[in-house]
Amino acid sequence: MNGWILNRLREILGEFNRLIKHLIEEWAGRYVSQSDVEAAAELRPKIRGKYPRFNISRHLVLPSNVRLANIQLAKTQNYELCAED
């Protein structure tokens, strides 16, 4: 494959992967550190790679807010998505 194409693909994937932490923050409604994301990825056996390049699909599905119900500090800061359950 052409070197230019490979470099562009790496750029696009890098841009997407850098956004993962921000997507998690918006869903959780609060700040999430990079190390939080890394630790969570290590706990999931199907997730491979190193931050910011995990083997996560570009076709993300917004998780249900019900998953945040038992997390006391969730939705306590102004990081909000515009989606509803």
Rounded distance, CA 79 to CA 75, Å? 7
Q: What are 12's two structure tokens?
A: 């696009």
Give the confidence band of 83 by pLDDT, cuts at 50, 70, 90. very low
Residues 20 and 37: beta-carbon distance below 8 Å: yes
pLDDT in tens, 21-52: 888 888 888 898 989 989 998 998 898 988 87
Helix (H) / strand (E) element for 50: namely strand 49-50
Q: Determine if the pTM surpasses 0.85.
A: no
Give the confidence band of 85 by pLDDT, cuts at 50, 70, 90. very low
Say which residue, 19 or 85, is predicted with more confidence. 19
Non-local CB neighbours of 72 within 8 Å, separated by 6+ positions? none
Helix (H) / strand (E) element for 11: namely helix 3-28
pLDDT at 81: 59
